[in-house]
């Protein structure tokens, strides 16, 4: 059997572009699916992070107005946040959240001004990591985002200069 190159070359010139187009289509579909999933995850993260920020600011606002916040309500909301953040939060947010609450657990019986400063710094770190996770800049927001809560802390300068000596 003799191989006829006159037929072989036109067949290859037709088949190869078809394979290339098919492969390109499959790759494009894969990229589009990944992009859709990432958009959905980012949307969920944004809603979830907003829930946490709302909770923190509500606690600050209630303490400023002299109202006592309902601890059981805060704990329920925190656990609701915790259930979802395990799936959607980045590893940086999960780690900073864990660090923050472990410092609370470790200092539960000995909570004072120094521990409060450390706790607020760690809250700021959580929110800075959330912003970073969403693609926002933390430039000019201080060390670990400590300026995120500046508007809510009356004696901010003395608070962070004297009580927050521990690096996160």
Question: What is the domain count for the chain?
Answer: 1
Evaluate whether residue 1 is within a structural domain. Answer: no
Evaluate whether residue 62 is within a structural domain. Answer: yes
| Cα pseudo-dihedral 75, 80, 85, 86, rounded to 10 | 90
Q: pLDDT by residue (tens digit) across 116-139?
A: 777 788 888 999 999 998 888 888
Evaluate whether residue 28 is within a structural domain. Answer: no
Residue 84's domain comprises: 44-162
Evaluate whether residue 8 is within a structural domain. Answer: no
More confident residue, 128 or 12: 128
Evaluate whether residue 25 is within a structural domain. Answer: no
| Cα pseudo-dihedral 99, 103, 105, 110, rounded to 10 | 180
Closest by CA to 120, choosing from 154, 79, 94, is 154
Predicted confidence band of residue 1 (pLDDT cuts 50, 70, 90): low
Evaluate whether residue 72 is within a structural domain. Answer: yes
Given a cut of 60, whether residue 163 has pLDDT beyond it is no
Distances (CA, A) of 65 to 21, 60, 112, 115: 65, 9, 21, 23
User: Average pLDDT of 93-121?
Assistant: 74
Given a cut of 50, whether residue 74 has pLDDT beyond it is yes
Evaluate whether residue 168 is within a structural domain. Answer: no
Question: Residue 114 has what pLDDT?
Answer: 53
Evaluate whether residue 76 is within a structural domain. Answer: yes
Question: Residue 108 has what pLDDT?
Answer: 60
Given a cut of 50, whether residue 104 has pLDDT beyond it is yes
């Amino acid at each position: 059997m003799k191989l006829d190159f006159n037929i072989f070359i036109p067949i290859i010139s037709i088949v190869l572009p078809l394979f290339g187009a098919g492969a390109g289509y499959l790759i494009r579909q894969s990229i589009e699916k990944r992009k859709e999933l990432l958009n959905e995850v980012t949307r969920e993260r944004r809603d979830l992070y907003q829930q946490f920020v709302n909770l923190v600011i509500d606690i600050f606002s209630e303490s400023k107005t002299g109202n006592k916040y309902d601890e059981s309500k805060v704990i329920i909301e925190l656990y609701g946040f915790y259930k979802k953040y395990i799936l959607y939060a980045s590893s940086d947010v999960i780690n900073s959240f864990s660090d923050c609450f472990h410092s609370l657990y470790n200092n539960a019986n000995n909570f004072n001004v120094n521990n409060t400063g450390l706790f607020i710094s760690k809250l700021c770190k959580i929110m800075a990591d959330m912003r970073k996770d969403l693609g926002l800049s933390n430039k000019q927001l201080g060390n670990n985002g400590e300026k995120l809560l500046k508007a809510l802390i009356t004696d901010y300068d003395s608070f962070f200069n004297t009580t927050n000596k521990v690096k996160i």
